[in-house]
Structure 1
Amino acid sequence: MNLEDFRNTPFRMQDLSSVFPNCANLKMKAKRLEYDGDIIRLKKGLYVASPLTSRMELSPFLLANHIYGPSYVSMQTALRYYGFIPEAVYSVQSMTTGVARDYENTVGTFNYIHVPARYYNIGVTMKESTGATFMIATPEKALCDLMVFTPNLNLRFQTSMRDYLEDDIRFDMDALLNFDLDIIKDCAEVSRKKTMLNQLIKFIENERNI
Structure 2
Amino acid sequence: MTFKAAKEFNTPVGNYCYYHISRETYPIGITQIKEGNSVYIMATPEKALCDLIANQPGINLRYKKEALEFLEENLRFDMDKFCQFNPEIFLAYAKNGKKSTSILTILKLLQHE
C-alpha offsets along residues 85-137 of structure 1, whole Å, 9 cap, x if unaligned?
A: xxxxxxxxxx0001110112334322101001111111111235698542210
TM-score by length of 2: 0.90
Matching residue's letter, 2:94: A
Structure 1 equivalent of residue 44 of structure 2: 138
Matching residue's letter, 2:95: E
Deviation at 1:152, TM superposition (A): 1.7
Structure 2 equivalent of residue 161 of structure 1: 67
Q: How far apart are the structure 2 equivalents of 1:126 and 1:147? A: 23
Identity of aligned residues (%): 35
> What does 1:92-171 correspond to in 2, within 5 Å?
95-128=1-34, 132-171=38-77
Q: Are residues 165 and 188 of structure 1, via their aligned partners in 2, closer, same or farther at CA, if it must alter by over 3 Å?
A: same
Unmatched 5+ stretches in structure 1: 1-94
CA RMSD of aligned residues (A): 1.9
TM-score by length of 1: 0.50
Please tell me whether Structure 1 or Structure 2 has the larger radius of gyration of its CA atoms: 1
> What does 1:41-56 correspond to in 2, within 5 Å?
none
Q: How many residues align?
A: 113
Q: Are residues 109 and 128 of structure 1, via their aligned partners in 2, closer, same or farther at CA, if it must alter by over 3 Å?
A: farther
Structure 2 equivalent of residue 8 of structure 1: none
Q: Are residues 181 and 107 of structure 1, via their aligned partners in 2, closer, same or farther at CA, if it must alter by over 3 Å?
A: same
Matching residue's letter, 1:117: R
What SS class does the counterpart of residue 9 from structure 2 fall into?
A: strand
Unmatched 5+ stretches in structure 2: none
Matching residue's letter, 1:127: I
Q: How far apart are the structure 2 equivalents of 1:130 and 1:140? A: 26
> What does 1:175-190 correspond to in 2, within 5 Å?
175-190=81-96
Structure 2 equivalent of residue 83 of structure 1: none
- Given the alignment of the two structures, is residue 200 of structure 1 paired with residue 106 of structure 2, yes or no? yes
Q: Show structure 1 runs of 4+ deviating over 3 A.
A: 128-133
C-alpha offsets along residues 161-202 of structure 1, whole Å, 9 cap, x if unaligned?
A: 111000011011011121111111000001221111111110
Q: Of the candidates 79, 91, 101, which is equivalent to residue 173 of structure 1? A: 79
Q: How far apart are the structure 1 equivalents of 2:92 and 2:11? A: 35
C-alpha offsets along residues 58-86 of structure 1, whole Å, 9 cap, x if unaligned?
A: xxxxxxxxxxxxxxxxxxxxxxxxxxxxx
